[in-house]
């Protein structure tokens, strides 16, 4: 019999809410059976990344290559050298959910990809290639972030992870935003329209409780705030220091103006250097 350890904060989980993919940090004990001791049927390594899969028609080598390239891109932006990470993929959503229910306390069927700092592992399942790449980008940011002494406010951690799903190297190799999540922005704009600063402050200061109360709204606002920081060229320093006081007046103007949502796309991300432990 397995006796669950006391709850500790582990990392990011992704929630599926309707069509929107949201991620959340979760409380739970370390995964019951260590990922490294589970039986996997395929594996590949590239740099700091080891990809394993169980019974899935997954080519691990290209995923390992993609993940390592993404970590290298983020290292170029943030100056954080990646520690080893395991990406463990189940055959499909139901196999992943069966695992999650058995091994992750408080697992909810809507949760998908998660990052476990305890195991330095991204755990998920096979999905469409584009979705899979977005999820890996998101969770691998949590992996890099978890290796630093700086703890980001939850809205900034998740907002940046959401934003990073749309980051890719441009023609000259610099990281640029290639897509924005307009559903998030519409959700945030509606909340600001209805409640003004109250809606923004609820996310800025609400932490985990605010996230649990309204995950979709929380991720949407966190994302919109991160995109606004990106637009102002301030995202890198915010992520570097964890210290950021969003200008609410400027943010309200930004989130209420659809034309500005995509205006900052393809602007290179200034390189910043972040201290690591
Ligand atoms: Zn996340």
The pTM of this model reads 0.84
With respect to residue 2, please indicate whether it lies within any of the assigned structural domains: no
CA of 1 to the centre of ligand 1 (A): 31
CB 255 within 8 A of CB 169: no
The domain boundary residue, chosen from 96, 112, 147: 147
With respect to residue 1, please indicate whether it lies within any of the assigned structural domains: no
CA of 268 to the centre of ligand 1 (A): 23
CA of 18 to the centre of ligand 1 (A): 17
Handedness of CA 218, 221, 225, 226 (dihedral sign): positive
The domain boundary residue, chosen from 116, 147, 178: 147
DSSP string, 34-51: -GGGS--SEEEEETTEEE
CA of 109 to the centre of ligand 1 (A): 16
Closest by alpha carbon to 107, among 33, 16, 13, 22? 13
Do both 124 and 179 map to the same domain? no
Do both 156 and 113 map to the same domain? no
CA distance between the termini of the chain = 36
Return the H-helix or E-strand segment holding 105: none
Give the pLDDT of the chain (277 residues) as one tens digit per residue: 333 333 333 334 444 333 333 444 443 334 456 676 777 888 899 999 999 988 766 789 999 999 999 999 998 888 888 999 999 998 888 888 887 777 766 666 667 788 888 788 898 888 777 788 999 999 999 999 998 888 899 999 999 999 999 988 888 877 888 889 999 999 999 999 999 999 999 999 998 889 888 989 999 999 999 999 999 989 988 998 999 999 999 999 999 999 999 887 877 777 666 654 4
The domain boundary residue, chosen from 147, 172, 197: 147
CA of 214 to the centre of ligand 1 (A): 15
Q: Which domain holds residue 219?
A: 152-277
CA of 26 to the centre of ligand 1 (A): 9
Backbone angles phi, psi at 63, to 5 degrees: -70, -40
């Amino acid at each position: 019999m397995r006796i669950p350890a006391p709850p500790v904060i582990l990392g990011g989980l992704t929630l599926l809410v309707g069509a929107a993919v949201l991620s959340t940090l979760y409380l739970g004990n370390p995964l019951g059976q260590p990922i490294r001791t589970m039986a996997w049927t395929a594996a590949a390594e590239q740099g700091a990344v080891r990809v394993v899969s169980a019974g899935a028609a997954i080519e691990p080598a290209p995923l390992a290559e993609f993940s390592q390239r993404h970590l290298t891109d983020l290292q170029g932006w943030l100056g954080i050298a990646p520690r080893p990470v395991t990406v463990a993929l189940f055959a499909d959503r139901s196999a992943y959910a069966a695992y999650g229910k058995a091994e992750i306390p408080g697992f909810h069927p809507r949760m998908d990809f998660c990052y476990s700092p305890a195991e330095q592992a991204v755990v998920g399942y096979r999905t469409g290639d584009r979705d899979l790449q977005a999820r890996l980008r998101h969770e691998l940011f949590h992996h890099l972030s978890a290796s630093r002494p700086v703890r980001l406010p939850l809205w900034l951690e998740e907002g940046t992870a959401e934003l990073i799903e749309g980051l890719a190297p441009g023609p000259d190799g610099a990281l640029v935003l290639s897509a924005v999540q307009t559903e998030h922005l519409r959700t945030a704009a509606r909340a600001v329209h209805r409640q003004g600063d109250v809606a923004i402050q609820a996310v800025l200061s609400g932490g985990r409780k605010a996230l649990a109360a309204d995950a979709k709204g929380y991720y949407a606002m966190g994302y919109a705030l991160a995109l606004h920081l990106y637009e102002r060229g301030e995202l890198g320093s915010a992520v570097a220091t964890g210290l950021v006081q969003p200008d609410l007046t400027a943010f309200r103007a930004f989130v209420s103006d659809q034309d500005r949502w995509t205006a900052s796309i393809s602007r290179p991300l200034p390189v910043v250097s972040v201290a690591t432990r």
